[in-house]
């Protein structure tokens, strides 16, 4: 029998734009996306940061990043 439950988990962290950029660049899915869309121009992180700067975010200013986390856990039957 499989039981499921949903307990939303939202992680939050205050980061500078540089911290946010460094964190986003650790995502393997981002690297794959950029490889597939490189001919279209800048990478997606550069575009995001340019938009944030254009809306007044300063380099040393902290932004609050938040993301949901999901887990799948199992227990071996005895």
The model's pTM: 0.64
What pLDDT, on the 0 to 100 scale, is given for residue 56? 92
What pLDDT, on the 0 to 100 scale, is given for residue 34? 79
pLDDT digits (tens, 9 = 90+) for 6-58: 777 889 999 999 998 998 888 888 888 878 877 667 788 888 899 999 999 88
Q: Judge contact between 69 and 18, C-beta under 8 A.
A: no
Per-residue pLDDT band for 68 (boundaries 50, 70, 90) equals confident
Per-residue pLDDT band for 1 (boundaries 50, 70, 90) equals low
């Amino acid at each position: 029998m499989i039981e499921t439950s949903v307990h939303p988990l939202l992680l939050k962290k205050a980061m500078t734009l540089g911290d946010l950029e460094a964190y986003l660049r650790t995502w393997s899915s981002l690297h794959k996306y950029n490889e597939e869309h490189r001919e279209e121009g800048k990478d997606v992180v550069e575009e995001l940061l340019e938009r944030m700067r254009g809306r007044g975010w300063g380099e040393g200013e902290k932004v609050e990043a938040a993301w949901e986390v999901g887990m799948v856990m199992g227990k071996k039957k005895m």
